[in-house]
Structure 1
Amino acid sequence: MDEKSKNISGSLCPAMASADILGDKWTLLLLREMFLGTTRFGRFQKAIPRMSPSILSKRLKTLEAADIIIRKAAPSGQATEYKLTRSGRELGPIVENMAVWGMRWRKRSIAAQDCDVGGFMWDFHRTVNTAGLPDGETVILVQISDRTDLNSWWVIANGDATDLCVDDPGHEVDVYLTATLANLIALWLGDVDLQSAVGDKTIYLDGPRHLISTAQDWMAQSPLVGVRPASLAR
């Protein structure tokens, strides 16, 4: 090993020590899910469908070994939950600031990347603004028109809770939302507003008048939708 390599590998820089644990996309996605309230293995799999079970298990063990998370028995005693430690909680602002930076300086590449429909729909369903919906259950059928598989998703909202189904749950549908995946992502990221998208027929909504006229109030949007790209921020 040459002298330069020795200096890099033996660096006393705290940022390098942090990067050894956090400098991996799967680890960051996993931490993001934990900050959003995900605690169980099966829910991590639904939220990050491209992450294989073996990689998920390995990353969880790495975070546990680093004292960033701990394993605890669920209240029911039937499953294991993963909880953030004090060290893990302190990573929250770091991950959030990375997301803000990405929206400001890398939004174009984010929008252009190959998006996993399952991961996107997981984000979509949990960002529906349930406060804008009527009391009781509301079922939104999202139909992705340019896909031949995984093209129908049922979002079930009831009170503050939302659930996502890829198989027909047998509930009566209240609203039909139809769009290509790219147009749905553009709406969710705030690149287009709902009224314009409906007017341009890139988004189709069908359902009772009240739910359609108030769609802007309950439509799912990224929590970072207010972060303007750098070219506009100037």
Structure 2
Amino acid sequence: MTEMTGSYGQFCPVAMAAEVFCTRWTPLVLRELLCGSRRFNDLRRGVPRMSPTLLSKRLKELTQAGIIESRRGPDGSIEYHLTPAGEELREVVMTLGFWGQHWVETQHSLQKLDPSLLMWDMRRHLDPVPLPTRRCTVLFYYPEQPPAQQRYWLVIDGRDVDVCSTDPGFEIDLYVTSPLRTMTAIWMGIATVRAEMNAGRLELDGDTDMANSMQQWLGLSPFAREQPGRGKAA
């Protein structure tokens, strides 16, 4: 691997690994790559507060370090793929995420909410198997957010899942209304669909079967820890 900038000047495996992994934004870029993002614009959606210039710089550094490589996709566009060295960082990233979920104070974490990031994560991990085989559209409404961030549409067509911040024009199968904090807590495994409905913080209107199976098709963040009974009922 090529040495990256910001060397600790120590011949130590921890120091050398930290020089690659611990630069600002690098763990989040690796998280996105490990979650399946391949193209520059998809990576940007996962780290929207990172400037395009800095993202380009980090991708170049990761390429020089032998962590990723660029390839031409089927349509000729540039895609970024993890090398074997990059794949071996999967356990490091997941362990870091589980540590944060377990030890970082939850109430403090729930102040750092972004509806577009939540919807992007939900889109990536949604399980379409419990849903009808036809195209399904779910409208998520966060009433306490600014108008431009209140409504998001998940469009599920077979294995293809897309998220839209403007009305795609399809008939809505299920309306989901809740504070962003509530939906984030469900996604992170801190709460369940049924518990939040019983508490009056989550409303589901529309297709009954889709509403009843929401806990299953919504899935959970990869950093949410399974607890007894979770996922068995809506």
TM range (shorter): 0.7 to 0.9
RMSD: 1.8
Paired residue type of 1:161 = D
**Distance verdict in 2 for CA 1:10–1:217, change over 3 Å:** closer
After the TM superposition, which segments of 4 or more aligned residues of structure 1 sit over 4 Å from their partners? none
Q: What's 1:226 paired with?
A: 225
Give 1:116 deviation, angstroms. Answer: 2.4
Paired residue type of 2:221 = S
CA distance in 2, matches of 1:180, 1:133: 24
Aligned length: 220
CA distance in 1, matches of 2:116, 2:24: 17
Give 1:138 deviation, angstroms. Answer: 0.9
Secondary structure, in 3 states, of the residue corresponding to 2:129? helix
Higher helix share: 1
Secondary structure, in 3 states, of the residue corresponding to 2:25? helix
**Farther off after superposition, 215-224 or 49-58:** 215-224
**Distance verdict in 2 for CA 1:9–1:27, change over 3 Å:** closer
2:136 maps to 1:135? no
Q: What's 1:52 paired with?
A: 51
Q: What's 2:149 paired with?
A: 150
Given that 1:125 and 1:220 are in contact with CA atoms closer than 8 Å, whether structure 2 keeps it comes out as: no
Percent of aligned pairs sharing the same letter: 33
Paired residue type of 2:63 = E
Structure 1 residue corresponding to 2:81, chosen from 55, 80, 83: 83
Residues 1-31 of structure 1: per-residue CA shift (max 9 Å, x gap):
xxxxxxx942111111111121134111111
Paired residue type of 1:172 = E
CA distance in 2, matches of 1:75, 1:107: 44
The residue correspondences of 1:162-181 to structure 2 (distance < 5 A) are: 162-181=161-180
Q: What's 1:216 paired with?
A: 215
Q: What's 1:66 paired with?
A: 65
Q: What's 2:230 paired with?
A: none
Q: Over alpha carbons, which structure has the higher Rg?
A: 1
Which runs of no fewer than 5 residues in structure 1 stay unpaired?
1-7, 229-234
Which runs of no fewer than 5 residues in structure 2 stay unpaired?
1-6, 228-234
Give 1:217 deviation, angstroms. Answer: 2.3
TM-score normalized by the length of structure 1 = 0.88
CA distance in 2, matches of 1:109, 1:124: 21
Secondary structure, in 3 states, of the residue corresponding to 1:39? coil
